[in-house]
Amino acid sequence: MKPILTLLAILLALSALCAQQYPEINEQRLQQTLDSLATFGRDNQDRPNRVAFSDGDLQGREYVISLMEAAGLEVRIDAAANIIGTRAGRNPELKPLALGSHIDMVPLGGNFDGCVGSMGAIEVARTLNDRGVLTRHPLEFIIFSNEEGGVMGSRAMAGKLSEDALRVRNSTGYSMAGGIQRLGGDTLTLESAQRPKGAFSGFLELHIEQGAILDRRDLDIGVVTGIVGLNWWDVTFQGMANHAGTTPMNLRKDALLAAARFVQAVNEEALKMEGSQVATVGRIEAQPGAPNVIPGEVKLSLEIRDLSAEVIQSLYRNIQMRAQDISSDSGVQINFEALDTTGIPALTDPDIQQTIEEAAQELGLSTLRMPSGAGHDAQDIAIIAPVGMIFVPSRGGISHSPDEYTSPEDFANGTQVLLNALLDLDSSLE
């Protein structure tokens, strides 16, 4: 019996040793950093309003830099105004592993979207620093600039930030170009922010789900399988403005009536196709906008999202055909103008998916593989590196709102999975 007991003791010891290979994050410290970040960029009603390029964004970035420096990172701001903290690895010849997210928000947004991933990444750096853990790979901790206004920083890093995009202004009044300069970047050397394909061994992003699937099903961790692409169009309906009281109904070229039929057609065509594609008309403007004048012109937006670029284009073609029918019936001309797409479909790396799932399950956390219906920085980084994303529940699926909320427990769970997955990738990747 003794040899068997001795073998059992050895196995238990080895098991304990393996279980101890992951340092534990500091949950209280993690939450405190998130709460402190939330104090920067409040409006006059004390609501979160840290839009990119604003004074609050500048203050939040200063706070983030101080945390990164205290965690022993070498911090710099690249030409696209991304904040990058580097940490040496045992083997400098290996490509870095990277992780991070963003801290800017939409106007009157929430304190969790992007911020959870950013503070989670910094907590990983602090934990490694506290425990004296030196990874094989060099590490990069990245806080991307202006994610909400067009994934500016990550697009620049992937070499996909266009000249047209640099002229776009956000609610602060600054253009992307002006904002880059204000945040400490340099538009004259913007190409230096670009990384070649293969620059990273892998990239991880922790994020709130921004939907209600995990929350409603009482699940801990979402393992993201891919990030949807999305395309935008401006659609113009040109009819004829005329007197609302004297123009007979059968002689009208009512642009708003044609637009209303189009909105219904968009919904019908999206529902006809099998799959999880979505199509939305989110903005509509009618001119001249008087109660006693038949609308002569309408401009509206069309957005289509899916994990497949082919599905997006197929649905768009179907919608175009419906528009042709509406135009013929109504005598209203309908024109589509394709806008700069804000994201191409990006599948996450299968091996990284598996690593995240196993890291969560080893912690006793429930998991679900799921797509992301919203765009993220990881979507652009997928152009140059294998990526993985970790979702944590968002209460009620509320996002881009002051009511956005993720519990401290869920936040800590996601951050621990982030750390453990990073260390697993550090061991397995070359």
Instruction: Enumerate residues 6+ apart whose C-beta is below 8 A from 50.
Output: 40, 41, 56, 57, 60, 103, 104, 105, 109
With a cut of 70, list the residues of the chain below it in pLDDT: 1-20, 340-343
Listed by start position, the domains of the chain span 17-228+345-428, 229-338
8 Å CB contact between 406 and 31:
no
8 Å CB contact between 73 and 125:
yes
pLDDT for residue 12: 45
pLDDT for residue 343: 65
pLDDT for residue 129: 97
- What CATH topology corresponds to 17-228+345-428? Aminopeptidase (3.40.630)
pLDDT for residue 21: 83
The answer to whether 234 is a known ligand-binding residue is: no
The answer to whether 243 is a known ligand-binding residue is: no
The answer to whether 113 is a known ligand-binding residue is: yes
221-263 pLDDT, tens per residue?
A: 999 999 998 899 999 999 999 999 999 999 999 999 999 999 9
pLDDT for residue 149: 87
pLDDT for residue 16: 40
Tokens read off for 36: 């402190």
- In this structure, whether the domain defined by 229-338 belongs to CATH 1.10.287.610 is answered with no
pLDDT for residue 375: 83
pLDDT for residue 428: 95
Instruction: Enumerate residues 6+ apart whose C-beta is below 8 A from 179.
Output: 52, 53, 81, 145, 146, 149, 152, 170, 172
pLDDT for residue 207: 98
The pTM assigned to this predicted structure is: 0.85
Buried b (16+ CB within 10 A) or exposed e, 169-196: ebebebbbbbbbbbbbbebeebeebbbe
The answer to whether 137 is a known ligand-binding residue is: no
pLDDT for residue 37: 98
pLDDT for residue 427: 96
Is 229-338 in the same CATH topology as 17-228+345-428? Answer: no
Q: For residue 231, which phi and psi values (nearest 5 degrees)?
A: -120, 145
